[in-house]
DNA sequence: TAGTGGTCTAGACCACTAG
DNA sequence: TAGTGGTCTAGACCACTAG
């Protein structure tokens, strides 16, 4: 424990937060004070404090000092892609249609498209062995410059489809999880009754300028859906 | 753009990753090389590199160098608590029962309990105005030392219930989302038909030593459930 | 103006890697 | 052994805050 000087700073402050001596929004001793209290140099004190800032325990305000954060209570890290709800490794992703369509008003709004801009619609079926699990639709603004390459279509992960064009580090995502029942078309594709419970996962992809670059909607048969998230 | 020297390092490396010049798992130039290439001091180069490490673009291996990360594709940050699926601000959390029970085998395993250890079961009803949205059960190992304080029961957020005993920064959580149908008891509480589509969210809470400290299961009526997650 | 955090340097020494 | 990242110091100067 605390082999290094900067770790001593981390543990010193962390212990006082854990014990409740420092409460959320309290001002903690300044860098200079901590140097004097511990005999540790300023750069090293700063390194320790930066660890606590990165861990979400402290925030710094220039000219004022360091303060204790409010704990983030409901934060979870979720790993999701279209096949992550399937536990066996026998899943398959089958492309069942690629069309160029004229988007309706809703899709035009979602993708922030100019008038008359067409959209690529990719329809895929996700299965686990012979069991049909989910029906997946991706909408991507049509561009003659960057045609969809067939190989990309089988990538189960949505951002992966853009790997040729964009650095994956620059793609921002949003996701919405809702519950519903299968509609007529989806029920047919999944060979299930209409009104069967379903989970609908929508994904919104944006480029580095917050411009929409894709929309995906994946409808899972409820009984095959499972998702985990963690928070450490 | 790039007012500071360390930001020049960040942009220099980031641009080469974005352009594909540096690919995942590539070794990038050493700190010394970067100093020579840019005329920037080593501490400042290190600060720039640490930004990229924190952003998940690089990882460092002592004695070898810095490498480009594989992009984390399916990672989402999810904010969840028991009432976050409700959009109006008229939600209420009503405690409908607190019991000391003898846990069954499954719960004993989940909470890693010694034999004959009892458990507090807290049953709550979550509503939005007069609409019953969710039924919520929390299981907490019973301890005479730390009695449940009534006020804590109304905290909608699970970790919040432990705020008196534990620093919230030390609680680790896992969460599982599944789809099901209402069972008999839950249907009765929620005044809905049995077999109505439902979302089941389980939460597992652990202390700093990875010891289980609580288990929660919240059953939402599907039609009222909505959840969002982001990834920037 | 005094105190705070933010940037930056030059240099020392250490631990680890791989030929 | 040469090269790499990791820790640490002492000191300089800057930008911001608040009396």
- The predicted-structure confidence for A124-156, as pLDDT tens digits, reads as follows 999 888 889 999 999 999 876 666 666 666 676
How confident is the prediction for chain A on average, in pLDDT?
87
What does strand D contact on the protein, if contact means CB under 7 A? A 4-7, 39-44, 47, 61-64; B 30-33, 42-43, 46, 60-66
Judged against a pLDDT cut of 90, whether residue A72 lies above it is answered with no
Cβ burial A177-192 (10 Å sphere, 16+ → b, else e): bbbbbbeeebbebbeb
Q: What pLDDT does residue B115 have?
A: 86
Scanning every residue of chain A, which has its alpha carbon at the shortest distance from the alpha carbon of B164? A20
Q: Do A179 and B222 touch (CB under 8 A)?
A: yes
How many contacts does A have with B, using Cβ atoms within 8 A? 158
Q: Do A77 and B80 touch (CB under 8 A)?
A: no
C-beta of residue B48 within 8 angstroms of C-beta of residue B6 = yes
Q: Is A180 on the interface with B (CB under 8 A)?
A: yes
When pLDDT is cut at 50, 70 and 90, the band that residue A27 belongs to is: very high
C-beta of residue B42 within 8 angstroms of C-beta of residue B71 = no
Non-local CB neighbours of B202 within 8 Å, separated by 6+ positions: B175, B176, B178, B215, B216, B217, B218
Task: Tell me the mean pLDDT in the region B32-38.
Answer: 96
Comparison of pLDDT for B172 and A52, the residue scoring more: A52
| A178 token code pair | 């809702």
Comparison of pLDDT for B96 and A77, the residue scoring more: B96
Q: What pLDDT does residue A151 have?
A: 63
User: Nearest CA to CA, how far is A101 from chain B (Å)?
Assistant: 28
Q: Do B169 and A230 touch (CB under 8 A)?
A: no
d(CA B119, CA B216): 12
When pLDDT is cut at 50, 70 and 90, the band that residue A88 belongs to is: low
Identify the three-state secondary structure at position A103: coil
Comparison of pLDDT for A219 and B76, the residue scoring more: A219
Q: Do A231 and B57 touch (CB under 8 A)?
A: no
Scanning every residue of chain A, which has its alpha carbon at the shortest distance from the alpha carbon of B82? A74
User: Nearest CA to CA, how far is A226 from chain B (Å)?
Assistant: 5
Non-local CB neighbours of B168 within 8 Å, separated by 6+ positions: A71, A73, B159, B160, B162
| B26 token code pair | 């590539």
pTM for the model stands at 0.84
The two beta strands, B172-181 and B91-101, are: unpaired
């Amino acid at each position: 424990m605390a082999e290094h000087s900067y770790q001593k700073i981390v543990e010193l402050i962390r212990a006082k937060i854990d014990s409740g001596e420092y409460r959320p929004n309290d001002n903690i001793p300044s860098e200079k004070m901590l140097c004097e209290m511990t005999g540790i140099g300023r750069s090293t004190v700063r390194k320790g404090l930066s660890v606590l800032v990165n861990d979400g325990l402290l925030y710094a305000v220039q000219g004022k000092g360091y303060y204790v954060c409010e704990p983030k209570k409901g934060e979870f890290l979720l790993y999701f892609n279209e096949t992550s709800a399937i536990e066996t490794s026998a899943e398959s992703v089958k492309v069942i249609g690629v069309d160029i369509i004229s988007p309706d008003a809703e899709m035009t709004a979602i993708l922030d498209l100019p008038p008359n801009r067409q959209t690529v619609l990719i329809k895929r079926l996700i299965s686990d062995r012979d069991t049909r699990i989910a029906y997946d639709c991706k909408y991507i603004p049509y561009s003659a410059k960057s045609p969809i390459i067939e190989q990309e279509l089988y990538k189960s992960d949505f951002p992966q489809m853009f790997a040729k064009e964009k650095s994956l580090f620059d793609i921002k995502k949003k996701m919405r999880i809702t519950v519903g029942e299968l509609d007529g078309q989806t029920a047919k594709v999944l060979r299930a009754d209409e009104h069967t419970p379903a989970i609908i996962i929508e994904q919104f992809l944006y480029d580095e300028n917050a411009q929409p670059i894709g929309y995906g909607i994946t409808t899972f048969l409820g009984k095959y859906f499972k998702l985990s998230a963690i928070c450490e």
